Structure 1
Amino acid sequence: MTRMRADLLLLLVAFIWGTAFVAQKSANEHMGPVSFVGLRFLLSFIAVAPLALREHCRKYRPSLSKGDLALAGLIGFFLFTGAVLQQIGLVSTSATNGGFLTALYVIFVPFVVWVITGAPPKFVVLVAGAVSIAGAWLLTEKGQFQRWSGGDTLVLVADLAWAGAISLIPVFLRRVERPFFLVFAQHGVVAFCGLIAGLSFESFSTEGVTSALPALLYAGLCSGGIAYTLQILAQKYTPPAEAALILSLESVFAALSGAALLSERLTPSAMLGCALIFLGVILVEVGPIRKAVPD
């Protein structure tokens, strides 16, 4: 796979995640946020199981060490933490604050990678990240941040978890080329932790699950089963900081899907915000595009 194809896959991931944001918000009306996370990733776990099994049955598959298993578990824990904190945060934070704060993981990823690998972030990545954050700010309601709440803190901490997961994925893939195992393992960790915590601390009813079923199916099969798998496959070829910038287009697709499905109005400043986020992605794509075009 080429870098450009990997980036296009990440663009598709951002589209799926952005449209899933509507489903995630609606699910909170019918069931507990932690239970929702557990069930959606249980569906994802089941969906990717055949791919993981096929990979396991390959004749020349790389073996997994205890360190590899521990790293996969850590990535799954980061994913669980990010998903749960974001879902709980959506209950109490405003859409204005939540949309902006979620985009901040674009800034966190280069510095998390710096801590993990010792490689400082590229200047163009920092500039592109700043441009994308400015765009995310304009996507908020009239470019104004509303009063800080506990939900905002949860969404901000979730950003650190997302950044940790995005940064560690290529570390795992460099150690052992088992992408489908990694998807399978991280979904298993999230499903197990989410269901245990959800059943322990939240009320659970079949009526609530039935009402949230469309959201569960879309978030579980499309956002989890398809998008997370494509993300891991693509991150073998796209560096994590650049991948985070492409994935930040999730906020653009969330705004567009909100306008299309929830009749939310896109203001001129919001449309400018979308354009700035696209510009941030284009800035980090200039290098790969120039390499792909022969002289």
Structure 2
Amino acid sequence: MTRMRADLLLLLAAFIWGTAFIAQKYANDSMGPLSFVGARFLLSWIALAPLALYERGKAGCASLGKSDLGLAALIGFCLFAGAGLQQIGLVTTTATNGGFLTALYVILVPLIVWAITGARPRRIVLLAGVVSIFGAWLLAENGHLQKWTSGDALILIADIAWAAAISLVPIFLARCDRPYFLAFAQYGVVAFLGLVGGLGLESFSGEGLAAALPAILYAGLFSGGIAYTLQIVAQKYTPAAEAALIMSLESVFAALSGALLLSERLTPLALLGCGLILAGAILVEAEPALRSARMVVRRRRR
């Protein structure tokens, strides 16, 4: 797979996540947030089982050691922490604050990669991250965040978990080229923890489950089964920090889907914010392309 195709897969994942944000928000009206997270990822886990089995049966399939299984479990826990805390935070925070705060993981990913691997982030990546965050701020109610709640703090903590998961995926793939297993394993971890937490801490009813079923189906099959799997497959070819910037377009797609499906109005400042987030993603794409072009020119001069 080429880098361009991998980036397009990340773009598709961001689109699916952006449209799924509406489903996540409405699900909280019918069932507990942890129960919803557990139910949606249980569906994702079931959907990925055939691909994980197919990958395992391929000739030359890499074997898994204890450290590989432990790393997959850790990534799954990070995904659970991010998804669970975000879903709980959406109960008390506004969509405005939630959309902006979620975008902050963009700047955390290169810092976590630096801490784990010692690889310093490129200046263009940090610049693109700042541009994207400023765009997310403008997109959030024209740069005027509303009163902060405990939900906002939970979403900030969730950002650390998102960033850690994104940063750890390439490390697992470098050790063991089994992306479908990783997707299957992390969905299983999230489903187990979500359902145990939901059954232990939240009220549950068949009526609530039935009301939330459309959101569970969309988030489980598309946001989980497809989008998160595309992310893992693509991260073998796109560095974590740059992948995060492309995935930050999720907030743009969320705003556009809100305007189309919920008749929400996008102001000129919000549209400018969308443009800046897009510019941040383009910045990290343009720099490698320019570097390659310069190398081609140098070779021809020789």
Q: Write the letter of the residue equivalent to 1:233.
A: V
Q: Report the Cα distance in structure 2 between the residues aligned to 1:80 and 1:95, rounded to whole angstroms.
A: 21
How far residue 269 of structure 1 moved from its aligned partner, in angstroms, is 0.4
**1:8-59: CA deviation from partner (whole Å, max 9, x where unpaired):** 1100000000000000001011100000000000000000000000011112
**1:246-290: CA deviation from partner (whole Å, max 9, x where unpaired):** 000000000000111111110110000000001001100013434
Q: Does 1:167 align with 2:167?
A: yes
Q: Give unpaired runs (5+ residues) of structure 2.
A: 298-302
**1:164-197: CA deviation from partner (whole Å, max 9, x where unpaired):** 0000000000001010000000000000000011
Counterpart residue number, 2:196: 196
RMSD: 1.0
Q: Report the Cα distance in structure 2 between the residues aligned to 1:226 and 1:142, rounded to whole angstroms.
A: 32
Question: Identity across aligned pairs (percent)?
Answer: 71
Counterpart residue number, 1:77: 77
How far residue 291 of structure 1 moved from its aligned partner, in angstroms, is 6.2
How far residue 148 of structure 1 moved from its aligned partner, in angstroms, is 1.7
Q: Report the Cα distance in structure 1 between the residues aligned to 2:290 and 2:3, rounded to whole angstroms.
A: 12
Q: Does 1:103 align with 2:103?
A: yes
SS of the counterpart of 2:166? helix
Runs ≥4 residues deviating over 4 A: 291-295
**1:64-106: CA deviation from partner (whole Å, max 9, x where unpaired):** 0000000000000000000000000000001111111000000
Q: Give unpaired runs (5+ residues) of structure 1.
A: none
Greater shift, 135-144 or 282-291, is seen at 282-291
In the superposition, the TM-score normalised over structure 2's length comes to 0.96
Q: Report the Cα distance in structure 2 between the residues aligned to 1:280 and 1:249, rounded to whole angstroms.
A: 9
Q: Write the letter of the residue equivalent to 1:179.
A: P
Q: Report the Cα distance in structure 2 between the residues aligned to 1:245 and 1:99, rounded to whole angstroms.
A: 15
Q: Write the letter of the residue equivalent to 1:59.
A: A
Counterpart residue number, 2:206: 206
Count, aligned residues: 295
Q: Report the Cα distance in structure 2 between the residues aligned to 1:59 and 1:147, rounded to whole angstroms.
A: 56
Q: Where in structure 2 are the equivalents of 1:20-59 lying within 5 Å? A: 20-59=20-59
Q: Report the Cα distance in structure 1 between the residues aligned to 2:82 and 2:140, rounded to whole angstroms.
A: 21
Counterpart residue number, 1:133: 133
SS of the counterpart of 1:212? helix
Q: Does 1:18 align with 2:18?
A: yes
